[in-house]
Amino acid sequence: MSQDIRDFANTSNAWPFVEARALLKHLGGKTPEKGYVLFETGYGPSGLPHIGTFGEVARTTMVRHAFHQLSDLPTKLFAFSDDMDGLRKVPDNIPNKEMVSEHLGKPLTQIPDPFGTHESFGHHNNARLRAFLDDFGFDYEFQSSTDYYMGGKFDDMLLRVLAKYDEIINVVLPTLGDERRATYSPFLPICPNTGVVLQVPIIEHDLAAGTVVYEDANGAKVETLVTGGRCKLQWKADWGMRWAGLDVNYEMSGKDLIDSVKLSSRICRVLGHTPPLNLTYELFNDENGEKISKSRGNGLAVEEWLRYAPPESLSLFMYQKPKTAKRLFFDIIPRNVDDYLSHLENYEKLEEDKKIDNPVWHIHQGNPPHEEAHLSYNILLNLASVCHTEDKAVLWHFIGRYRPGANPENAPILDKLVEYAINYYQDFVRPAKQYRQPSEAEIAALEDLSKTLKAIPAGSDGAEIQTQVYEVGKRHNFENLKDWFKALYEILLGQSQGPRMGSFIALYGIEETVSLIGRVLAGEDLSS
């Protein structure tokens, strides 16, 4: 690590550096006894990995990388799966629901895989998580709650929970309602007959024997060890115990878990450990401003985003303002792509001390690509729109003329953008297109625009063309020139918004644009 980078990192206002400096202070600048600084992210494998999973790992990775610029302390990132949790309901998006319903209440790793590919439902979803994280190139170590409980890795800490039973109870009970308070225990026995994780009152606990006693459905007392996977903990107690058992140093979580973080932190302290430093991030909202929920399915899947945009644009969305609630819907994708491209283009122009404040530095672990994108995502969308095409070659015909020498082989970023733009056009732009006929005043302006474009010298750039389009609007007394450009979008492109017209005409071609205007003036339907 160069001293310059470290100096820059110590003064940067980029939030990953703010978090990393706070963590270094939290640790007293020293390596923990276990020999490394531990970052953790959690995963509930009752469902498939989703955009929140990506966001948490991506953001944690950014903080971890920032931390490496500030210190030489070794680090690890654990992706921890809560696969010992009992399945409470059958997910909607799986096959063989009836089969799974027969195993409700059992740990996820004890339920047959409805997909028929792995030894259990939990193992299947864990494999999906690992593949998901691997596809994005995250550096992590996968950890399984089942392995820790069944393999005895949590045994010492579970006995510690048993020893601190009354203290933990006294921490938790004030946060519960009367009915729940009467039956609460941090321990959930696993029924030796059915394998179900039992929500039952604990009527006795014996530290010397390492056991708890509960009553079964028939009223008989059952004594069971708390170790060896015979019990698991209620999740808030489980979280605090895990922090203590693993000595987790940093873990972020959503705003909906603020109270849980406070409670689990208190439990962690009762167990004699310091809870991790925590960043609380805001949640995402759907198109209607309502909180995104896995169960409601009103979110945007990672796979859906990646059909329309590069993964780096999703990373940028996660990087920007993690403590601010953000709308997450398809229509934000084009803006995020172009913002990413803009940050990438500006990166090399920055002074060295400012580069680490650029989002692409954090997205690319300090090594952003040097390739130029050449064109914005939005202008490619509009090119696909006016061409009515799903054929990459058609778009490349125009691109090659606009950017001589650029081709799919030597401009891979641009080539992928073309694919993404075509997909987005197919699914969102094309179905929403609504062309309109021009008014008499607009016909006169379009005739003037056609003559003006014909007179523009060959090779004129987008800025020069934009000036001429602007002047035509002024000549025809549009009260607000925004209305002139809106009219061009609605008449020529079939949409209410669009690109900078000068840049678009330069890409599409002056001759082609004149021809397009001619078709409108002839009364032709451009939607066909």
Which stretches of 365-439 are DSSP H helices? 377-387, 392-402, 412-424, 430-432
Report the Cα–Cα distance between both ends of the chain, in Å, rounded. Answer: 59
Query: What is the phi/psi pair of residue 457, to 5°?
Result: -60, 145
Task: Delimit the domains of the chain by residue range.
Answer: 3-179+233-281, 284-363, 377-432, 440-521
pTM for this model (two decimals): 0.92
In 119-265 the beta strands, taken as DSSP E runs, fall at: 141-144, 187-189, 204-206, 211-215, 221-225, 231-233, 253-254
Q: What is the CATH number of domain 3-179+233-281?
A: 3.40.50.620
pLDDT the model gives residue 46: 80
pLDDT the model gives residue 498: 82
**Burial environment of residue 260 by CB neighbours within 10 A (0 to 12, 13 to 18, 19 or more):** middle
pLDDT the model gives residue 294: 54
Q: What is the CATH number of domain 440-521?
A: 1.10.10
Distance in angstroms (rounded) separating the CA atoms of residues 62 and 359: 10
pLDDT the model gives residue 299: 65
Stretches in the chain below the pLDDT threshold 50: 295
Strands 204-206 and 221-225: unpaired
pLDDT the model gives residue 436: 93
Distance in angstroms (rounded) separating the CA atoms of residues 496 and 490: 5
pLDDT the model gives residue 185: 94
pLDDT the model gives residue 11: 93
Tens of pLDDT, residue by residue over 501-528, are 999 999 999 999 999 999 999 999 887 6
3-179+233-281 and 440-521: identical CATH topology? no
Tokens of 426: 């197919």
pLDDT the model gives residue 373: 78
Distance in angstroms (rounded) separating the CA atoms of residues 354 and 356: 6
HSE, side-chain direction, 13 A CA sphere, residue 28 = 5
